[in-house]
Amino acid sequence: MTHQLEHFLFLTGRLAEPGLRKILASIEPCPFTWEVREIGLQVAGLMTAEMLKRRLKPEHIEGFDRIIVPGRCRGDLDALAIQFGKAFERGPDEMKDLPRHFGQGRAPADLSRQDVMIFAEIVDAPHSSLDKILLRAHGYRRDGAEVIDIGCLPDTPFPQLEEIVRTLKQEGFRVSVDSLEVEDLRRGAMAGADYLLSLHEDTLWLADEVDATPILIPKNHGDLDSLIRSAQILTEKGKPFFVDAILDPIHFGFTDSIVRFQKLRAALPDARIMMGVGNLTELTDADTAGINAILFGIISELRINAVLATEVSPHCKSAVREADAARRMMFAAREEGALPRDFSDSLLMLRSRRPFPDTPEEILAMSAYVKDPNFRIQVSRDGIHTFNRDGFHSAQDPYALWPQLGLENDASHAFYMGVELARAHHAWLLGKRYEQDEDLNWGAGLPPADENKLKQKAEGLTLTHQLREKLPKGTEVSSETDSNSSAENEALNTSKNEAAT
């Protein structure tokens, strides 16, 4: 019996239609049959669910199993599915990514799984107020940390330790106390801390007096035998623990310390191991995303179970988010038995692996379809391209484009183009993906942006009163760009078309 392929309808705009047909035709073998329909707007990325609700008729989508809309289409697709009785879904943000989206190459990675706990340390807790500690704890939890580590300081009074531990516990956090002073650890444990960093052979007795789980370290730095003996003692007593062989900074034993972790895993194949990654991220003047990628590759291979991460140096301000991204990517790659490529872009903060989806020739061909005065900006390997109905201009220096734009008497549009051309220039210099009206993607370097596609984007700051006066009374305009943008042009065209019908 022949299997019937699903029949998909791809909705798009006039500019994207030729390219969309070409890309879909390139998917071989294609797991579905398809048709493309342009719904009467210029820019596919400005499509909204409300627009589709107005423009689509049941006969337009008869015979299709799924309706595919651009990835940047805003609005409630579930409501459309109910109204039309068809499945509506978003494709990828970038049209060139459709083959991967539909299964050419690796299927989309499941990054929901990981097997490494993140302890995020607040190193200056004795000098911080409770409110500041709570604020940082909530931030670390949002970034992926499971445990908030309260760092004590040598020879520094810490009278508020118990209050901090109890308050964090009341807020639903798991808490560790980090000190080499046994009295600090005892006080933290009695206040309800879940973990103690750190105990060794001479202080192991504390593990018998408290319920907190200890992290064990060597009695003397590098003494792996001491660490293994402590682990064996607690194993015989049936008590839980982690072991930490201590990661050293570069040129101060780094390579030897990696070897120690390898030997520790071989000696204790079933033990839970922790690695403190801050000695490398904090003490190396290099972007931490790459450092975390390498460390979490080692962590994944050795099945290390927890890390202690810090964000003390300003260049480490996203270290916890990076650790979260790295553990998920490495887990997915290990489970698939694959290289850690094409699983996540979160650690590609400065570069993109596919920075320029369109060639200069393709962009030039696309520009021929533009029949309005609104500028489009795209980036290719050759530089920055900006075009509208009046011309096509290319340059590697955005200053060279300014004389071609004719915006000397349009301050708001000139400001907008300045911002966008600066983004485009940075994208070209670094080799990053650029999309007009979108911030560059800095991966785990920044908190996740609001990706709620049920909401329309806020109006652009340069939307003018003049535009509003052109629209019929009561019309709502939601612009993604500036006062001369495609969004406003679409709003005007929409209002005119609907008034005519």
Q: Quick one: DSSP state of residue 204?
A: G
Fold classification of 117-336 is TIM Barrel (3.20.20)
Instruction: Give CA–CA dist 193/174, Å, rounded.
Output: 7
Per-residue burial over 164-187, b = 16 or more CB atoms within 10 Å of its CB, e = otherwise? bbebbbeeebbbbbbbeeeebbbb
Q: For the chain, which residues make up each domain, given as ranges?
A: 6-101, 117-336, 360-445
Given a contact cutoff of 8 angstroms between Cβ atoms, the answer to whether 313 and 287 are in contact is no
pLDDT by residue (tens digit) across 452-481? 555 555 544 444 434 444 444 444 443 333
Q: How confident is the model at residue 499 (pLDDT cuts 50, 70, 90)?
A: very low
Residue % of the chain over a pLDDT of 70: 88
- Of 147, 204, 203, 207, the closest CA to residue 177 belongs to 147
Span 6-101: which CATH code? 3.40.50
Question: Please, are residues 398 and 422 in contact by the beta-carbon 8 Å criterion?
Answer: yes
pLDDT of residue 128: 94
- In this prediction, residues 154-174 reach a mean pLDDT of 95
Chain centroid to CA 462:
29
| CB distance 191 to 165 below 8 Å | yes
Distance, CA of 51 to CA of 90 (rounded, Å): 15
Residues 6+ apart with CB under 8 A from 138: 171
User: Does residue 136 surpass a pLDDT of 70?
Assistant: yes
Mind listing the pLDDT tens digit for each residue in 412-444? 999 999 999 999 999 999 999 999 988 999 999
3-class DSSP assignment, residue 119:
strand
SS (H, E, C) 269-299: CCCEEEEECHHHHCCCCCCHHHHHHHHHHHH
For residues 295 and 30, which has the higher predicted lDDT (pLDDT)? 295
